[in-house]
């Protein structure tokens, strides 16, 4: 089946540094990728939607200058948390879809646990 | 706006017990409803779905029926196994939208 690889699975960084998270579709071309964030005991919240070759669409309240998303190819999207702070510590998860519509399933990565010290 | 309210966990059951995880939703129109499962160390996987009222989604012994009158999509399994231990997410897809709305997730632990 379709596989989405997300890397790294865990990362610890110091406050003020930047962290890049990669999301790759291994055996299909992902025209659309989604980035979610999950706080403890809360829902997965959509942060942004990225389409290959175009700028990401950010959800309300998500700082686009802080969470840089690049979807340069049909198999790779990256999320960079710039100048990370402890409040950015969270679980980030990406998903990918090859075609539009609810009949095209979302394939999820395993998530990245970010801890900012 | 659209939202999903899911039963809080964690839920701990003995093997072969009956499972119910409640999920209710708020949405206009006729959304599609999903249950996703996340096994330890893995990504979310689609477990089952229902696209219209009274539809029943089923997979791996799990079932959920789309009840528009009660705006619910409760997940059930008659006899759980240890291998069912995972986090279960209820989700909603609104026609014309581009993303899923997720519930908070319910952690299920099945003990032998």
Whether A46 sits inside 8 A of B99 (CB atoms) is yes
- Pairing state between β B106-111 and B11-14: parallel
pLDDT value of position B56: 97
Residue A74 vs residue B43, higher pLDDT? A74
Chain A residues near residue B99 by CB distance under 8 angstroms: 34, 46, 49
Please name the member of A34, A38, A108 whose beta carbon is closest to the beta carbon of B99: A34
Chain B residues near residue A105 by CB distance under 8 angstroms: 46
When mean pLDDT is compared across A6-15, A72-81, A98-107, B44-53, the lowest value belongs to: A98-107
3 state DSSP class of A10: strand
Please name the member of B43, B95, B101 whose beta carbon is closest to the beta carbon of A111: B43
Query: Which residue does chain A place closest to B8, by CA atoms?
Result: A41
Do the Cβ atoms of B44 and B65 come closer than 8 Å?
A: no
Do the Cβ atoms of B48 and B35 come closer than 8 Å?
A: yes
Span B72-99, pLDDT tens digits: 999 999 999 999 999 999 999 877 666 7
In sequence order, what are the residues at sequence separation of 6 or more whose Cβ sits closer than 8 angstroms to the Cβ of residue B96? none
Partner B contacted by A105 (CB < 8 A): yes
Residue A30 Cα, gap to closest chain B Cα (Å) = 14
Mean pLDDT throughout A46-67?
90
Distance CA B18, CA B95 (A): 33
Distance CA A115, CA B5 (A): 28
Q: What DSSP designation does A41 have? A: T
Mean pLDDT throughout A14-37?
92
Residue B32 Cα, gap to closest chain A Cα (Å) = 8
Q: Does residue A102 have a pLDDT over 70?
A: no
Distance CA B70, CA A100 (A): 29
Q: What is the residue whose two structure tokens read 């209820």?
A: B90
DSSP string, chain B: --EEEE----EEEETT--EEE-EEEE-SS--EEEEEEE-TTS-EEEEEEE-STT-EEEETTEEEE-BTTTTB--EEESS--GGG-EEEEEEEE-TT-SSEEE---EEEEEE-
Whether A43 sits inside 8 A of B45 (CB atoms) is no
Could you tell me how far CA B54 lies from the centroid of its own chain?
A: 15
Span B21-73, pLDDT tens digits: 999 999 888 889 999 998 887 778 889 999 999 999 999 999 999 999 999 99
Mutate to test the interface with B, among A44, A54, A99, A101 (most CBs of B within 10 A): A44
3 state DSSP class of A92: strand
Partner A contacted by B25 (CB < 8 A): no
pLDDT-derived band at A104 (thresholds 50, 70, 90) equals low
Whether A93 sits inside 8 A of B43 (CB atoms) is yes
């Amino acid at each position: 089946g379709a596989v989405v690889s997300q890397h790294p699975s865990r990362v610890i960084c110091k406050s003020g540094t930047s962290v890049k998270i990669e999301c790759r579709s291994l055996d299909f071309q992902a025209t659309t990728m989604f980035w979610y964030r999950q706080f403890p005991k809360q829902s997965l919240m959509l942060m942004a939607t990225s389409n290959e070759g175009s700028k990401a669409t950010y959800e309300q309240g998500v700082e686009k200058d802080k969470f840089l998303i690049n979807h340069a190819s049909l198999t790779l999207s990256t999320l960079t948390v710039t100048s990370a702070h402890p409040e950015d510590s969270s679980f980030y998860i990406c998903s990918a879809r090859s075609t539009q519509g609810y009949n095209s399933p979302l394939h999820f990565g395993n998530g990245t646990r970010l801890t900012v010290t | 706006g659209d939202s999903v309210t899911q039963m809080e966990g964690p839920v701990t059951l003995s093997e072969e017990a009956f499972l119910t995880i409640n999920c209710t939703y708020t949405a206009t129109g006729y959304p599609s409803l999903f249950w996703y499962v996340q096994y330890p160390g893995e990504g979310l996987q689609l477990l089952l779905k229902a696209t219209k009222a009274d539809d029943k989604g089923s997979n791996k012994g799990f079932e959920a029926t789309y009840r528009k009158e009660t705006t619910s999509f409760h997940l059930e399994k008659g006899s759980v196994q240890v291998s069912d231990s995972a986090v279960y997410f209820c989700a909603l897809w609104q026609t014309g939208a581009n993303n899923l709305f997720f519930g908070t997730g319910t952690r299920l632990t099945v003990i032998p």
